[in-house]
């Protein structure tokens, strides 16, 4: 039995379904990301877990006991809100102490744990400040400390980094990850940012239209997307329409490709998995190969994007920066390992 | 959650209170309209329309209605002509004191009505500000009669409903996008043309609502007609009060009150319909 | 476009002069040395303030008004704030209907409410009594408190209360430790305005106040009807100063336009 189990969770608002059917098993100490676009139901799922919303169907079990109908204040979940939701009328210290006070912890113990909490998020000495006197990053850390000092069964983070600027976000990512690892706290992390999900979590559950589309570790999700949605949402992908030639082989740009011929489907290949080689270089047994003309190369810092045009479409190849990009207009061959090909049916529109 | 299920219990005291001091008395008022008045002037319990019939056959009721409607119409019109520019000014100004100016504009609604009426007596009275000024300028020899008549009541009413109308207009202007005016100006419209072609048409719904509000407030005002009218101005409101207190003729007071309420309701519905029509 | 323009500003200034003139005139008149309402006064003195201090009926009425307004404010908050809490935070069937029920008395002219209360109170011998006046004023103040506090409470950020719940606070503790402290400025402003509403309430009081128990506005109406001397001006100045103080407090806390508007 897993530490945290969600089974068949559903939440409807009138006729619209926010969460359709979410089942998820989380082990103790594990960090799991709920990744998806806005409106996919990830925050609703998190709020149901915290007891802030009641599900219409389904059950939630924590450490063997059912918590589905348990009110929020009895769940012992540390929730870090997107808006931080710090109490504006209380000092930083009182904010962090709030949960401990509600638990009737002794004054001395509260003081000790508030100090520990402040030290954990590197804010020692700021306990007398009001939340509005802190920067966004500091407020975020207070919210984190406040959720952690109650020693929650599960830590829930709701888009917690989205209000920070890019640099700070990067730093906080590592900080939260290392705190999570050190404390060994079971964590659920809601985000629409795939980098956040890929870097901060052991496993990722990609959500789409109120359901979990795929769950797995970063490599699973990135290299072996289970659905077309996952392939498109996580990372970038070249989407190449598949056709069939006279011999019944699958083709792209009227050139045969080594995949099963399928009606109404597209071939997905990650731009980083592709290489550009001279047309003269012969194709190996384990590679797929397309020829086309270089339309243009764009230097984007850590890599070079090469746009290649073929009969009936374009694709992008990401080359490591430093490698010489082919001149515009030259005929080139694009190759990639066969195993990197993914075929997904087109969605009926 | 159990707590949110128990939350509606908090409504019980307020509900009970309003049932006792608001709903029940309102029903009582309705009931009284069907009672009769005996020959001695004492009230007789009954379920008849006799009082209503007698009241509506009385030509004085008709006169009171016309007085009320006319007074309210004139006061509302004057108040609108004054409140609209002030609201527009408050909406447009980028003065640091905008907040303070808005407070001052609605200050009269917070100051006791009796105090303001007393102020008007000092301004419009025989030896008040207006008459002494005009006399010292030699424009008049005998004082103008400005209070204890319709003139005084109209002025006083217009002033007392203005703050409410300014608030209503400001709320309506809230939906008016200033960039629209700027767009009109950039397209070559003069300030006046911009006002005629953009600002005014867009604020018509707010005007309709503010006018409706002013009219209803004037119709139901009692203190101003009573004190500035000096017993010479008769409207529905003053008559209701007289019948209820001086004459203790409750059935007639109740009939007139319900009649006034119906008039107000019709007026409110009309102004809301007009506002909604203009919104399109 | 910048600002309001010269024509509009001048016109607005004129209207402001008109709006403020009764108040300014009253203040000047209170220092009059004349026996009658003459403006401008032929001389200035403090005699009407001295008269005021010696006027028993007016002072008694002032004291009664303060008592009534204080009791009305306390009771209205006690009854209205819980209702506002339920309307702002609860999700239950019939909420919209209940909200209109609570706000309806604000739409009814006090002339009608006053008459209805007179007819209701007379057989119960509640006219011209403190309980009668308090109940009468509450028909206005309770809906006002409910309206103002519902808006104030509904505007509090939801997440802050949810945060308190996830930290282990029971729903009632959330109200006590988070909701009410955050709503305190609104609460104080609401109390001030309720006091003012009750203190200034004239029409309902005229219906149900008798000679035995008459509030200050009622006593003032009777005085103005009978006599024309600047005594009321002196009294008015006291009221205006008190009103301004309340307005200032409310403006600092929540903004007057927002409090009295919708």
Residue pair C207/C118 in contact by the 8 Å Cβ criterion: yes
Against chain B, the chains showing at least 3 CB pairs within 8 Å are A, C
**Same-domain status, A201 and A290:** no
Distance to chain B for C51, nearest Cα, Å: 18
A99 and A77 fall within a common domain: yes
- CATH number for A281: 2.40.50.140
Cβ-based contacts of A71 with chain B (< 8 Å): 1-3
Compare A197 and A324 and report the one with higher pLDDT.
A197
Is B56 within the bounds of a domain? yes
C30 within domain boundaries: no
Answer yes or no: is pLDDT of A348 > 80. Answer: no
Task: Give, in order, the Cα–Cα distances in Å from A206 to each of A198, A227, B249, C29.
Answer: 11, 10, 77, 77
Give the pair of three-digit tokens for residue B25.
């008395």
For B142-208, the three-class secondary structure string (H helix, E strand, C coil) is: CCCCCCCCHHHHHHHHHHHHHHHHHHHHHHHHCCCCHHHHHHHHHCCCCHHHHHHHHHHHHHHHHHH
CB A226 within 8 A of CB A251: no
Q: Do B86 and C15 touch (CB under 8 A)?
A: yes
Is there a domain that residue C158 lies in? Answer: yes
Q: Which of residues 187-226 of A touch C (CB under 8 A)?
A: none
* Tokens encoding A147: 């959720």
- Among residues C197, C238, C215, the alpha carbon closest in space to that of C61 is found at C215
CB-nearest to C157 from A50, A71, A85 is A85
What sign does the dihedral B99-B100-B103-B104 (CA atoms) show? negative
Looking at the fold, whether A242 and A192 belong to one and the same domain comes out as: no
Under a CB-based contact definition with an 8 Å cutoff, are residues B44 and B211 in contact?
no
- Please say whether the beta carbons of B124 and B155 come within 8 A: yes
- Distance, in Å, from the CA atom of B138 to the CA atom of B132, rounded to the nearest integer, reads 10
B13, B24, B167: residue with CB nearest C120? B24
Is B5 domain-assigned?
no
* C-alpha C61 chain-centroid distance: 17
pLDDT tens by residue, A199-228? 889 999 999 999 999 999 988 898 889 999
- In-domain check, residue B41: no
Neighbours of A184 (CB within 10 A): 10
Measured CA distances, B17 to B22, B98, C69, C128 (Å): 8, 40, 17, 20
Range of the domain at C173: 55-260
Q: Could you give phi then psi for residue A252, rounded to 5 degrees? A: -130, 135
Q: Do A76 and C169 touch (CB under 8 A)?
A: no
CA distance A203 to A181: 14
Tokens representing residue A315 in the block: 């694709």
Of the candidates C116, C120, C261, the beta carbon closest to that of B167 is on C261
Predicted pLDDT of residue B181 = 79
Under 8 Å between Cβ of A152 and A185: yes
Domain presence at residue B12:
no
Given the DSSP bridges, would you call strands A187-191 and A154-158 parallel, antiparallel or unpaired?
Answer: parallel
B contacts of C21 (beta carbons < 8 Å):
119, 123, 129
Is C15 among the domain residues?
A: no
| Residues of C whose CB is below 8 A from A83 | 157, 159
What value does the mean pLDDT take over residues C44-58?
90
Q: Tell me, yes or no, whether A217 and A242 share the same domain.
A: no
Q: Among candidates B213, B170, B83, which has minimal Cα distance to C19?
A: B83
Total domains, chain B: 1
Is residue A6 very low, low, confident or very high in pLDDT (cuts 50, 70, 90)?
Answer: very high
Residue B30 forms part of a structural domain: no
What is the number of domains present in chain A? 2
Sheet holding A65-66, edge to edge: A65-66, A57-62, A4-13, A16-26, A211-216, A203-208, A31-35, A187-191, A154-158, A77-80
**What letter does residue B58 receive in the DSSP assignment?**
S
Would you list the DSSP string of A11-61? Answer: EEETTEEEEEEEEEEE-TT-EEEEE--TTSSHHHHHHHHHTSS--SEEEEE
For residues A215 and A206, is the Cβ–Cβ distance under 8 A? Answer: yes
In a domain, B122, yes or no: yes
Residue of C nearest to A152 (CA): C167
B60 by Cβ neighbours in 10 Å (0-12 / 13-18 / 19+) ranks as exposed
Q: Where a domain ends, among A233, A253, A280? A: A233
Q: How many angstroms separate the CA atoms of A181 and C198, rounded?
A: 62
Report which of A328, A324, A323 is spatially closest to residue A309, judged by C-alpha positions. Answer: A328
CB atoms within 10 A of CB A164: 18
Spatial separation of the C-alpha atoms in residues A196 and A317, rounded to whole Å = 24
Distance from CA of B3 to the nearest CA of A (A): 9
Q: What is the CATH number of the domain that holds C248?
A: 1.10.3720.10
* Strand pairing report for A313-320 and A4-13: unpaired
H/E stretch holding A205: strand A203-208
Contact (CB<8Å) C138/B115: no
Residue-by-residue DSSP string for C238-253: HHHHHHHHHHHHHHHH
- At B241 the pLDDT is 94
Domain assignment present for C6: no
**Distance, CA of A317 to CA of A303 (rounded, Å):** 10
Structure tokens at A109: 């113990």
Question: What does the H/E/C string look like for B233-257?
Answer: CCCHHHHHHHHHCCCCCHHHHHHHH
Q: Is the pLDDT reported for residue A36 higher than 80?
A: yes
Nearest Cα to Cα of residue B159 among C78, C131, C93, C25: C25
CA distance A157 to chain C (A): 12
Flag whether pLDDT at A170 surpasses 60: yes
pLDDT-flagged residues of chain B (< 70): 1-4, 175, 280
Chain B CA closest to residue A68: B1
Residue of B nearest to A51 (CA): B1
**Whether the Cβ atoms of residue C220 and residue C145 lie closer than 8 Å to each other:** no
Residue A209 domain boundaries? 4-233
Burial label, A26 (beta-carbon count in 10 A; 0-12, 13-18, 19+): buried
CA angle A81, A83, A86 (to 5 degrees): 80
In B2-55 the beta strands, taken as DSSP E runs, fall at: 36-37, 43-44
Q: Is the pLDDT of residue A196 over 80?
A: yes
Query: Counting one residue from A and one from B, how many pairs have CB atoms under 8 Å apart?
Result: 6
Q: Are residues A59 and A195 in the same domain?
A: yes
Q: Do C166 and A71 touch (CB under 8 A)?
A: no
The yes-or-no verdict on residue C1 having pLDDT over 60 is no
- Residue C74 included in any domain: yes
Could you tell me the CATH number of the domain that includes residue A54? Answer: 3.40.50.300
CATH of the domain at B172: 1.10.3720.10
Cβ B241–C206 below 8 Å, yes or no? yes
Q: What percent of chain C has pLDDT over 70?
A: 97
C3 vs B9, B92, B159: nearest CB? B92
**C chain contacts of residue A150, beta-carbon cutoff 8 Å:** 167-168
**Residues C201-215: b if buried by 16+ CB within 10 A, e if exposed:** bbbbbbbbbeeebbb
CB contacts of B170 in chain C (<8 Å) are 257, 261
Residues of chain C contacting residue A79, judged by C-beta atoms under 8 Å apart? 162-163, 166
Q: Is the pLDDT of residue A349 over 60?
A: no
The C-alpha atoms of residue A281 and residue A333 are separated, in whole angstroms, by: 8
**Which residue of A52, A102, A156 is in closest CB contact with C167?**
A102
Q: Could you give the CA distance from residue A221 to residue A9 in angstroms, rounded to a whole number? A: 23
Residue C17 maps to a domain: no
Which pTM value belongs to this model? 0.83
Cβ-in-10-Å burial (0-12, 13-18, 19+) of C99 comes to middle
Maximum average pLDDT range among A98-102, A255-259, C227-231:
A98-102
β A250-252/A243-244 pair status: antiparallel
- How close is the nearest chain A Cα to the Cα of C186, in Å? 14
Distance CA C149, CA C187 (A): 7
How near does any CA of chain B get to the CA of A45, in Å?
Answer: 17
User: CA–CA separation, B168 vs B162, rounded Å?
Assistant: 10
| Token code pair at residue C146 | 């409910």
Q: Lowest mean pLDDT: which of B29-33, C28-32, C253-257?
A: C253-257
Chain A neighbours, 3+ Cβ pairs < 8 A? B, C
Asked if residue A299 and residue A161 are part of one domain, the reply reads no
- CA angle at B192 for the pair B191 and B196, rounded to the nearest 5°: 120
What is the rounded average pLDDT of the residues A32-60? 93
Domain count, chain C: 1
Strand partners, A291: A333
The answer on pLDDT for C12 being more than 70 is yes
CA distance C249 to chain B (A): 12
* Residue A301 and residue A163 share a domain: no
Does any domain span residue C256?
Answer: yes
Chain C residue numbers touching B159 (CB-CB < 8 A): 18-19, 22
Q: Does B235 reside within a domain?
A: yes
In chain A, residues with a C-beta closer than 8 Å to the C-beta of B2 are 71
Residue C87 has pLDDT above 60, yes or no: yes
* Chosen domain end from A233, A259, A288: A233
Q: What pLDDT is attached to residue C261?
A: 59
Contacts (Cβ under 8 Å, ≥6 apart) of A226: A213, A214
Q: What residue numbers bound the domain in which B173 lies?
A: 51-279
Complex confidence, ipTM? 0.89
Q: Min CA distance, C240 vs chain B (Å)?
A: 7
- List the alpha helices (DSSP H) in chain C: 6-30, 47-53, 56-89, 95-107, 110-124, 130-154, 158-166, 171-174, 180-200, 203-208, 216-226, 231-253, 256-260
Among the candidates A211, A233, A255, a domain finishes at A233
Together in a domain, A306 and A256: yes
Q: In this predicted structure, what is the pLDDT of residue B222?
A: 94
B118 vs C86, C113, C233: nearest CB: C233
Distances (CA, A) of A14 to A11, A41, A56, A213: 10, 15, 11, 24
CB count in 10 Å sphere of residue B16 = 11
Q: A99 and C167 in contact (C-beta within 8 Å)?
A: yes
Task: Assess if residue C22 is contained within a domain.
Answer: no
Given a contact cutoff of 8 angstroms between Cβ atoms, the answer to whether C102 and C83 are in contact is yes
């Amino acid at each position: 039995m897993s530490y945290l189990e969600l089974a068949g969770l559903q939440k409807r608002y009138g006729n619209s379904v926010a969460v359709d059917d979410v089942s998820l098993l989380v082990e103790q100490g594990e960090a799991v990301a709920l990744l998806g676009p806005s409106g996919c139901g990830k925050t609703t799922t998190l709020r149901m877990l915290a007891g802030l919303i009641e599900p219409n169907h389904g059950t939630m079990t924590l450490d063997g006991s059912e918590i589905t109908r348990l009110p929020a204040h009895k769940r012992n979940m540390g929730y870090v809100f997107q808006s931080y939701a710090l109490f504006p009328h209380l000092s930083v210290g009182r904010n962090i102490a709030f949960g401990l006070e509600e638990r009737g912890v002794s004054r001395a113990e509260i003081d000790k744990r508030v100090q520990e909490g402040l030290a954990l998020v590197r804010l020692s000495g700021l306990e007398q400040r009001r939340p509005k006197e802190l920067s966004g990053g500091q407020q975020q850390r207070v919210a984190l400390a406040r959720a952690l000092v109650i020693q929650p069964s599960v830590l829930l983070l709701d888009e917690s980094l989205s209000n920070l600027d890019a640099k700070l976000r990067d730093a906080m990512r590592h900080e939260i990850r290392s705190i999570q690892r050190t404390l060994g706290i079971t964590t659920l992390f809601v985000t629409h940012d795939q980098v956040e999900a890929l870097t901060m979590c052991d496993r990722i559950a990609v959500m789409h239209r109120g359901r979990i589309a795929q769950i797995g570790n970063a490599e699973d999700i990135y290299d072996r997307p289970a659905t077309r949605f996952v392939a498109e949402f996580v990372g970038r992908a070249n989407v190449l329409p598949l056709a069939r030639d006279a011999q019944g082989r699958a083709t792209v740009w009227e050139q045969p490709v080594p995949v099963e011929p399928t009606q109404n489907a597209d071939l997905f290949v990650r731009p980083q998995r592709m290489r550009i080689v001279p047309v003269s270089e012969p194709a190996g047994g384990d590679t797929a190969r397309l020829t086309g003309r270089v339309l243009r190369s764009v230097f984007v810092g850590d890599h070079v994007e090469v746009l290649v045009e073929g009969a009936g479409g374009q694709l992008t190849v990401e080359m490591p920066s430093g490698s010489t990009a082919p001149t515009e207009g030259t005929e080139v061959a694009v190759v990639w390992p066969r195993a990197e090909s993914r075929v997904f049916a087109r969605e009926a529109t | 959650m159990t707590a949110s299920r128990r939350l509606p219990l908090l409504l019980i005291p307020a509900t009970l209170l309003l049932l006792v001091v608001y709903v029940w008395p309102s029903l009582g008022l309705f009931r009284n309209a069907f009672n009769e008045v005996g020959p001695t002037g004492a009230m007789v319990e009954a379920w008849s329309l006799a009082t209503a019939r007698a009241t509506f056959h009385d030509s004085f009721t008709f006169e009171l209605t016309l007085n009320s409607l006319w007074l309210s119409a004139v006061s509302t019109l004057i108040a609108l002509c004054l409140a609209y520019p002030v609201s527009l000014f408050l909406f447009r100004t980028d003065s640091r004191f905008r907040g303070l100016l808005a407070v001052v504009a609605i200050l009269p609604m917070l100051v006791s009505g009796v105090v303001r009426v007393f102020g008007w007596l000092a301004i419009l009275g025989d030896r008040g500000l207006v008459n002494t000024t005009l006399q010292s300028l030699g424009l008049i020899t005998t004082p103008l009669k400005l209070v204890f008549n319709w003139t005084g009541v109209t002025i006083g009413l217009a002033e007392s409903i203005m703050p409410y109308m300014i608030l209503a207009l400001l709320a309506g202007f809230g939906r008016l996008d200033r960039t629209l005016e700027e767009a009109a100006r950039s397209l070559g419209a003069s300030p006046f043309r911009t006002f005629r072609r953009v600002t005014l048409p867009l604020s018509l719904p707010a005007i309709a609502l503010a006018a409706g509000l002013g009219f209803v407030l004037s119709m139901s005002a009692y203190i101003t007609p009573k004190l500035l009218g000096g017993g010479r101005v008769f409207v529905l409101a003053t008559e209701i009060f007289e019948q209820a207190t001086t004459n203790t003729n409750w059935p007639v007071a109740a009939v007139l009150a319900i009649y006034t309420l119906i008039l107000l309701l019709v007026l409110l519905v009309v102004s809301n319909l007009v506002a909604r029509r203009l919104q399109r | 476009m910048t600002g309001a323009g010269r024509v509009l500003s001048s016109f607005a200034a004129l209207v402001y002069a008109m709006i403020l003139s009764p108040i300014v005139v009253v203040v000047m008149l209170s220092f009059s040395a004349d026996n009658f309402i003459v403006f401008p006064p032929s001389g200035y003195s403090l005699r009407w303030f001295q008269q005021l201090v010696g006027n028993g009926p007016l002072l008694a009425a002032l004291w009664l008004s303060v008592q009534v307004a204080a009791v009305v404010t306390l009771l209205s908050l006690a009854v209205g704030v819980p209702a506002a809490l339920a309307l702002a935070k609860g999700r239950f069937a019939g909420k919209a209907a209940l909200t209109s029920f609570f706000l309806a008395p604000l739409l009814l002219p006090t002339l009608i409410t006053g008459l209805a209360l007179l007819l209701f109170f007379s057989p119960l011998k509640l006219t011209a009594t403190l309980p009668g006046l308090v109940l009468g004023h509450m028909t206005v103040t309770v809906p006002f408190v409910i309206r103002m506090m519902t808006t104030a409470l509904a505007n509090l950020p939801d997440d802050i209360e949810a945060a308190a719940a996830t930290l282990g606070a029971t729903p009632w503790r959330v109200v006590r430790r988070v909701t009410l402290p955050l709503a305190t400025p609104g609460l104080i402003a609401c109390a001030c305005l309720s006091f003012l509403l009750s203190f200034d309430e004239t029409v309902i009081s005229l219906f149900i106040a008798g000679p035995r128990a008459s509030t200050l506005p009622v006593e003032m109406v009777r005085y103005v009807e009978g006599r024309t001397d600047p005594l009321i001006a002196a009294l008015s100045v006291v009221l205006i100063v008190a009103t301004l103080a309340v307005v200032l407090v409310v403006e600092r806390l929540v903004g007057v336009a927002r409090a009295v508007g919708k």
